[in-house]
Amino acid sequence: HFSGSFLSNIRALPFSGKGTKSGRIALIITIPAVGLSLLIAGILCICLRSRRLKKNFKTVPEDEIRTAESLQYDLNTIRAATNDFSDANKLGQGGFGTVYKGTLANGQVIAVKRLSVDLGQGDRQFKNEVLLVARLQHRNLVRLLGFCLEGTERLLIYEFVPNSSLDNFIYDPVRRSQLDWERRQKIIGGIARGLLYLHEDSQLRIIHRDLKASNVLLDAEMTPKISDFGTARLFMVDQTQDATSRVVGTYGYMAPEYAMHGLFSVKSDVFSFGVMLLEIISGQKRSRFCIGDTVEDLLSYAWRSWREGTASNLIDPNLTSGSRTKMLRCIHVGLLCVQEIKADRPTMGAVILMLNSYSTTLPLPSRPVFILHSIPESDTASRSGNRQNKESVNEASITELYPR
């Protein structure tokens, strides 16, 4: 616009007499000079802007590359630590891969998840998920130490948690007796705090989507650590829910809106926590809950017992000591977490308050959805392999973080 106006004004200037020839010569010299100056200025602006954009664009990837390099382990180091992935060091196996115990040269004991080769996840996606989980730091989350990506090998390296997973205690009639009321309270509170961190207290908002007893590890002091973030989703700070056509997780622990419509939110994790809370109190698995010779859905029995004032029948007979009032309160909180309408379920912050403040009056829970009884046993087996706990997984990502 500037050059057009400038040229039109010049064309309008009158030329006469002897000055005409010299004026034309001056114009011939001036116009290209001005045009060239404008062209050079434009090129300089573009170059400077491009350099700034390029510099800004590079900052994030370069930071991520440096982070990835600091987390990366050499394959030979891991082979040596696990005695070349020997069966003697095998801790467990599932559809996602095999977990091995290893010892580094400095004496540090680690757990190595060797992911299945045919799972088809790209290198970039694998690294992104590793970097995401590496940013989560909480005493009730399993700690990722690093990864190895060489050739077809994809390895995840974690802190070693000696007491295996919660399901190996809570579902075992013998080992369950080791979990007295004090320990169960500690486990319940730790899981709740870990979830609260994921939902509200970390720099990211994470929806776990597959919370269950087999994905809670227990350290030497029986401190619970949530694992398996392979199906987790990252939310924006102000995001409340999301939807997917690729439902992943475990039947019986999935919230109804997620299992049936693919809708998930923090309240989906709250539902899963509620199921697990009732399992910890009863000492039985939801899908195999037994009263005498009768097999019944845990949620339906808990709801009916609470309504009839016989909720104490749900309490594990191994819990011979401890406050009955606190146990019944846990059942009440569990029923609030598994309500059908997600808006009625409490947040994890409210759950922790209700579990710790006994002066707080609890609302009445509404009826949960009973859907598990309609799922045949063949459908509740894991698609991802013949796992010991026979959990149902519709689909799953390969970055299952060190569950059995």
Please state, in angstroms and rounded to a whole number, the distance separating the CA atoms of residues 122 and 126: 6
| Residue tagged active-site, from 118, 180, 201, 210 | 210
* Closest-CA residue to 159 (of 144, 140, 138): 144
Please state, in angstroms and rounded to a whole number, the distance separating the CA atoms of residues 394 and 84: 32
Active-site residue flag, 210: yes
Catalytic residues: 210
